[in-house]
Structure 1
């Protein structure tokens, strides 16, 4: 019984109370139960000590100094939260309604705008406002070879490059932009011989990256255009340091010197080496179809 009382004492007394106050609190809250059990409530065992009845409370001491409130920290925190809320309010959700005059930077086809991407936050993106009615969010562009695309997993997840030039928006942003399943994709390409190609897909979605079995899996369908369908649909994304392709004896990202939805290995390689030919170059529907320009962009389906 004494052990049980000690447990009650430990769990029913705030640790900040002084010893005598803790005992008084204990007696007030649990010793009515002790009386029902017939125990002597005048003496309670605590460890190896025996403590008698608590005496009367002493006089209340003088009040302590007033607490100090860091108003500067509170004000800074509130200002930061207000600023973040205003940025979110002012940022767009899609490229719908993007006007060139309000872009941070622009060229003939579009410009850089702030976009609020759920679960990612506010990101700068390039909006194409001219091609085929505009409203496009550019996911990828290869145009001059200034940016190295032979990179590791973290870079491909977060994104890299120059939004006005060669860049990759990032797999995590692509996933959250497309997870609703209502996005169409357009790929524009210019071959080395100057021929202009278009591949359009009425449905484009990138799966989540949190599930190791489905690592930013590609879901694409509804092809139209003059470039031939050259995607490995339902494949996972592979980089040189994260091998998710179906080739057991080869990392296809090393084979193609880029990150892509490889299988065994690819029928396209838009993130390959801009300055090389063959397997490691930039090509679509076969390595003989080398490209000097490519751009992937999405928008909501009409």
Structure 2
């Protein structure tokens, strides 16, 4: 209602009718119009009753605070793609890292071997041998937790399929070694060698394995000791020996089975039960020694005393230890 009255006053002030002309001369009414109609006062000098002139309105006041921000508008249309920049200068020729390439190729070859390599000697094919002898040859076999390894398979003796894990025939390989060598293995697979303890543990850990020891004296006498059960414990138990079921013409003088449940010892790892001495150091070899009076096929091959012998037989010119799955 008040806004309507103000609108009417301003309308009459700017467009007075003859009826309102006298009324507009009233000082009070002019002030009322000034208060209500800013536009009229800015453009008109009003004269009060006392002939005092009222000036125009003063300058505009300070701008108020901005209102709230409006909503974000719709995204604009993506413009056309600009021209390609100039081609940069060619960099210097790189160097081919042959080491990385060879390592990558080795890994690929290893993967292929793991897929297709046999798990034991009874799965090998003679034409896959890396090298051959009259009795067998060197083959690639896959051993769980170890990987692909080269092993010698005896394919002829007593039905074949034997994995040879120890052989002495030339005496040109030193067997007086530390723990690390015996765990990993050493020597020439076609000559004197020792298959590592870890590989042997992985092959025999599930049981159902038999082991055979073959020996030849310098006078030609032939000895055999065979065991129907052979297993090697894990490294955490020092590759403890589990052997039983002996047979053969060498078992009458056999003390190898007397080492059953013995841990493996080397010159730097004394795990025998002899508290008075260190058997591996005394016998100059690594092996399963209960109390230093057992077999020592890893001893000095050229000695004719207890440092290289099978029980009471010291004069050996050949020894071989091998294992296979029991039939």
With structure 2 as the length reference, what TM-score do the two structures score?
0.66
Q: Structure 1: how far apart are the matches of 2:285 and 2:142?
A: 28
Listed as ranges, the matches of 1:75-94 within 5 Å are 81-94=107-120
Q: 1:262 to 1:83 in 2, by over 3 A?
A: same
C-alpha contact (below 8 Å) 2:227/2:243 kept by paired residues: yes
Listed as ranges, the matches of 1:3-152 within 5 Å are 81-152=107-178
Listed as ranges, the matches of 1:1-302 within 5 Å are 81-210=107-236, 214-228=237-251, 229-231=254-256, 232-281=259-308, 283-286=309-312, 288-302=313-327
Give 1:90 deviation, angstroms: 2.5
Give 1:280 deviation, angstroms: 1.2
C-alpha contact (below 8 Å) 1:184/1:202 kept by paired residues: yes
Q: Structure 2: how far apart are the matches of 1:235 and 1:175?
A: 14
Secondary structure of the structure 1 residue equivalent to 2:123: coil
Q: Structure 2: how far apart are the matches of 1:184 and 1:215?
A: 21
Aligned length: 226
Give 1:81 deviation, angstroms: 5.0
C-alpha contact (below 8 Å) 2:110/2:148 kept by paired residues: no
Q: 1:219 to 1:79 in 2, by over 3 A?
A: same
Secondary structure of the structure 2 residue equivalent to 1:296: strand
Give 1:84 deviation, angstroms: 2.5
Secondary structure of the structure 1 residue equivalent to 2:306: helix
Q: Structure 2: how far apart are the matches of 1:251 and 1:258?
A: 11
Q: Structure 2: how far apart are the matches of 1:161 and 1:81?
A: 25
Q: CA-atom RMSD, angstroms?
A: 2.1
Q: 1:262 to 1:78 in 2, by over 3 A?
A: closer
Q: Structure 1: how far apart are the matches of 2:176 and 2:167?
A: 14
With structure 1 as the length reference, what TM-score do the two structures score?
0.71
Q: Deviations over 1:183-209 (max 9, x none)?
A: 100111002221100100000000011
**Greater CA deviation, 218-227 or 97-106?**
97-106
Secondary structure of the structure 1 residue equivalent to 2:148: strand
Give 1:97 deviation, angstroms: 3.4
Give 1:85 deviation, angstroms: 1.9
Give 1:87 deviation, angstroms: 1.4
Q: Structure 2: how far apart are the matches of 1:80 and 1:105?
A: 21
Give 1:291 deviation, angstroms: 1.3
Give 1:215 deviation, angstroms: 0.9
Give 1:289 deviation, angstroms: 3.8
Q: Structure 2: how far apart are the matches of 1:173 and 1:97?
A: 18
**Greater CA deviation, 224-233 or 125-134?**
224-233
Unaligned stretches of 5+ residues in structure 2: 1-95
C-alpha contact (below 8 Å) 2:204/2:230 kept by paired residues: yes
Give 1:125 deviation, angstroms: 0.1
Q: 1:127 to 1:174 in 2, by over 3 A?
A: same
